[in-house]
A and B are shown apart, each in its own frame.
Chain A
């Protein structure tokens, strides 16, 4: 399945956040959107997934929904969004409960996604007992449980410390290697972008426009070992972002 964004513009009141965005997201790829803070990249993600309505333009889905998919566009949030009163299994079961699955079916799905994310032993743990990294793994497991066509990931690693971030990046790379999921990944962190992105879309500062798209051909699995070779790409992206970030930083907050 493919997502295409056409002529999309959006404003909050008189403040224009996104202006005339045209993008296509291909299946089986991780597309990373980066940009200075406040450039509207998270807003773009919410507009893509139908959590907000754009003022102009629209995003479209093309192609068939894969078999067994319960929720084609599935988010992973920066703050994990786990219900604190439900166990790990309960949080995953939450998103299955509205789909008329039998008890054994949903139990099987839960066991399967916990296994795939190495969380089986945390089946009954409560969110407060988990570290930030484990919480985000649970959120990823929950997202996988609905067999999404596209994962919409909103700065999923930003709330974590840098060591945990490294570990989770490895996990995501492994997961992609096995499952070839499609994702749109929003971040402001360049090293995440070059580690995870098949293509990196750079947004300008507000109002967000597409400043450029950089394809990275190197297979994800090899990127950790060949980090030095990615330095050039990272520098290139940084050059694109630097002026925008500098200008954005000097802007007076008026929103």
Chain B
């Protein structure tokens, strides 16, 4: 009450700026930080190796790994390993994804398919494909078959789940609009449901591509002479840790490339999202 009686005086005494309480909680991208962190880490690592803080037994120096990479490059086998793995990845992933989209659409569109295939998918998805490797060998042989099949099975299930989830999430209002204009069933699927499910399908592809790379090592456990996975496995069994680092780095770069490609695809296909 006294405030009201003597406003001028009180205001003078207590006058202060309203403290700013907003802001924060809004991470924004800062350029060059990622490569700098990466470089600093490698520098620190190399320094540790040179001074002996990090034992060679525990972790080879980046320079050693680089030398192993140069040796691999000079031996001419680099491209052989990479191309062999790429072939398996592309082949297994594209077939797995194509089949996955088809089955996902079936589940998304037909009640009978949903009732029959969805429980199967849920049952098979969590099975580690590595556990099935011995069976894959019997079914598909120790040649390319079992390797492609491992990657195919690994990418199929996440694609199915992403696709039918995408179909389920297409706005019902858009489908009703299509029906109200007398569009045919096929037109509605092609022009409304598929494009509407595309964002989900693409984020599914991002996940399945990573799974494919993870499975590459498993796929190349069996009878593989060439391939990045085979290279990593051989380095592991020879305890050639420098080569191991090279192989793992190649897998990581492969992952980055794939992620970049899918990012491009998203930009091109989903530019309508803005």
The answer to whether A and B belong to the same complex is yes
A interface list, Cβ under 8 A from B: 49, 51, 70-71, 73-75, 77, 79, 81, 83-86, 94-95, 97-98, 126-129, 146
Which of B171, B178, B181, B198 is within 8 Å of A74, CB to CB?
B181
> With the chains together, A98 CA to B188 CA distance in Å?
10
- Asked if B180 and A74 sit within 8 Å, CB to CB, the answer is yes
- Asked if B195 and A85 sit within 8 Å, CB to CB, the answer is yes
- Asked if A75 and B180 sit within 8 Å, CB to CB, the answer is yes
Chain A residues whose CB sits within 8 angstroms of the CB of B264 once the complex forms: none
> With the chains together, A95 CA to B180 CA distance in Å?
10
> With the chains together, A49 CA to B198 CA distance in Å?
30
Q: What number of residue pairs across chains A and B have CB atoms under 8 A from each other?
A: 56
- Name 11 A/B residue pairs within 8 A (Cβ), A-sorted: A71-B180, A73-B180, A77-B176, A79-B173, A83-B191, A84-B273, A94-B183, A95-B183, A97-B183, A98-B183, A98-B187
B interface list, Cβ under 8 A from A: 171, 173-174, 176-184, 187, 191-192, 195-196, 198, 270, 272-274
- Asked if A51 and B184 sit within 8 Å, CB to CB, the answer is no
- Asked if A83 and B183 sit within 8 Å, CB to CB, the answer is no
Q: Tell me the smallest distance from the CB of A149 to a CB of chain B, in Å.
A: 13
- Asked if B179 and A83 sit within 8 Å, CB to CB, the answer is no
> With the chains together, A71 CA to B171 CA distance in Å?
22
> With the chains together, A77 CA to B272 CA distance in Å?
21
Q: Tell me the smallest distance from the CB of B141 to a CB of chain A, in Å.
A: 43
Chain A residues whose CB sits within 8 angstroms of the CB of B180 once the complex forms: 49, 51, 71, 73-75
Known A-B contacts A97-B187, A126-B272, A128-B272; A83 and B181 likewise in contact (beta carbons under 8 Å): no
- Asked if B181 and A95 sit within 8 Å, CB to CB, the answer is yes
> With the chains together, A177 CA to B195 CA distance in Å?
38
Most buried by A among B177, B179, B181: B181
> With the chains together, A84 CA to B191 CA distance in Å?
12
Which of A81, A98, A127, A129 is within 8 Å of B182, CB to CB?
A98
> With the chains together, A12 CA to B109 CA distance in Å?
23
Chain A residues whose CB sits within 8 angstroms of the CB of B176 once the complex forms: 51, 77, 81
- Asked if B179 and A81 sit within 8 Å, CB to CB, the answer is no
- Asked if B181 and A146 sit within 8 Å, CB to CB, the answer is yes
Q: Tell me the smallest distance from the CB of B106 to a CB of chain A, in Å.
A: 23
Most buried by B among A70, A74, A79, A94: A94
Closest chain A residue, CB of each to CB of B181:
A95
Chain B residues whose CB sits within 8 angstroms of the CB of A81 once the complex forms: 171, 173-174, 176-177
Most buried by A among B179, B182, B196, B198: B182
Q: Tell me the smallest distance from the CB of A96 to a CB of chain B, in Å.
A: 9
- Asked if A128 and B183 sit within 8 Å, CB to CB, the answer is no
- Asked if B192 and A77 sit within 8 Å, CB to CB, the answer is no
> With the chains together, A70 CA to B182 CA distance in Å?
9
Q: Tell me the smallest distance from the CB of B180 to a CB of chain A, in Å.
A: 4
- Asked if B182 and A71 sit within 8 Å, CB to CB, the answer is yes
> With the chains together, A70 CA to B181 CA distance in Å?
9
Chain B residues whose CB sits within 8 angstroms of the CB of A79 once the complex forms: 173
> With the chains together, A70 CA to B171 CA distance in Å?
25
> With the chains together, A71 CA to B177 CA distance in Å?
12
Chain B residues whose CB sits within 8 angstroms of the CB of A75 once the complex forms: 177, 180
Closest chain A residue, CB of each to CB of B274:
A128
Which of A70, A84, A97 is within 8 Å of B272, CB to CB?
A84
Closest chain B residue, CB of each to CB of A72:
B182
Known A-B contacts A85-B195, A85-B272, A126-B272; A77 and B177 likewise in contact (beta carbons under 8 Å): yes
> With the chains together, A98 CA to B173 CA distance in Å?
19
Chain A residues whose CB sits within 8 angstroms of the CB of B182 once the complex forms: 70-71, 98
Which of A77, A94, A127 is within 8 Å of B191, CB to CB?
A94
